Structure 1
Amino acid sequence: MRTALYPGTFDPITLGHIDIIERAMALVDRLVIGVAINRDKGPMFDLEQRVSMVRHECDQVVKRTGGEILVHPFENLLIDCARDVGARVIIRGLRAVADFEYEFQMVGMNRALDSSIETVFLMADAQRQSIASKLVKEIARLQGDVSKFVTPPVHEALIEKLHRKS
């Protein structure tokens, strides 16, 4: 069984993430979505909320595409997480050339740690290349409309989270 790991903070999960998930599903039998705890990033949503949103969105993807998607929170090294879930492939989404420099360094380090795990880059769909969770949160904080960047349940969660802070 071909298993891949698609890691990220998913704070929140966006239509760009979902695009990569759907396209990755065409390449593997099982896709594990690694939700990084990453306290250093100071996420808007806590781990439980992010995992819940990712699970909900992945359930919708499975209904549309079939296949198997698991959601796996992690706080260890990415390469160790890949080993933990039995992934031989790490999926990374690229939006722009700026992403590539960071990802190129990560691949080099991961290959040094375990050369048997490959990294596959998927370019975001042209309509989704500008979507970044960080920008979605900023637009939402400033009361802009983010409905074209996230699904309705994620949009509702953003609004609820921001109203609760006010």
Structure 2
Amino acid sequence: MTRAVYPGSYDPVTNGHLDIVERASSLFDEVVVAVLINKNKKTLFSVEERMEMLREVTAQWPNVRIDSWHGLLVDYCREHDVRAIVKGLRAVSDYDYELQMAQMNHQLSGVDTLFMPTNPIYSYLASSLVKEVATYGGDVSTLLPASIEQRLVQRLGEKR
């Protein structure tokens, strides 16, 4: 079985993330969407909430599994027999950073990284930008699945 991991914070999951998940799921026997646990990073949703949202919006792909990890991604790959890391690239600036990470990960573990350019309609999309727009009442309905948008608006309302 060829297994890949698609790591990220997914705070919240966007349509851009789901585009990569869908495309990766057609290339690998199993895709693990792995939610980053970083206690130093301020997130809007807990790890459990992000995993729950991801399970909901990826249910249509039977070979997609949701998990979380803390520590080095290459350790997760070794422990779970993951042969590839999938990363979505929005712009050249993403490539600069992700290439360094890919080379380090390969040096540490031999795990390869597959770069997938995002669909151009999502090339500007980032969870942090979506949260900022939603915070000020902007319309993010085309950027997120409807259920995720509802949760985002509700959470932002709770924080006010």
TM-score (normalised: structure 2)? 0.97
Query: Which whole-Å deviations, capped at 9, do the CAs of 1:147-166 have from their partners, x for residues lacking one?
Result: 11000000000011011111
| Corresponding residue of 2:144 | 150
Structure 1 distance, partners of 2:29, 2:147, is 27
| Corresponding residue of 2:89 | 94
Aligned length: 160
| Corresponding residue of 2:48 | 48
SS of the residue aligned with 1:39?
Answer: coil
| Corresponding residue of 2:113 | 119
| Corresponding residue of 1:28 | 28
Aligned residues of 2:78 and 2:109 also touching (Cα < 8 A): no
Aligned residues of 2:130 and 2:143 also touching (Cα < 8 A): yes
Q: Does 1:159 align with 2:142?
A: no
**TM-aligned CA deviation for residue 39 of structure 1:** 2.2
Unaligned runs of 5+ in 2: none
Unaligned runs of 5+ in 1: none
**TM-aligned CA deviation for residue 86 of structure 1:** 1.4
Structure with bigger helix share is 1
Q: Does 1:141 align with 2:128?
A: no
SS of the residue aligned with 2:101?
Answer: helix
| Corresponding residue of 1:130 | 124
Structure 1 distance, partners of 2:45, 2:7, is 16
TM-score (normalised: structure 1)? 0.93
SS of the residue aligned with 1:57?
Answer: helix
Aligned residues of 1:32 and 1:85 also touching (Cα < 8 A): no
Aligned residues of 2:88 and 2:117 also touching (Cα < 8 A): yes
Among 55, 64, 67, the alignment partner of 1:72 is: 67
Give identity over the alignment, percent. 39
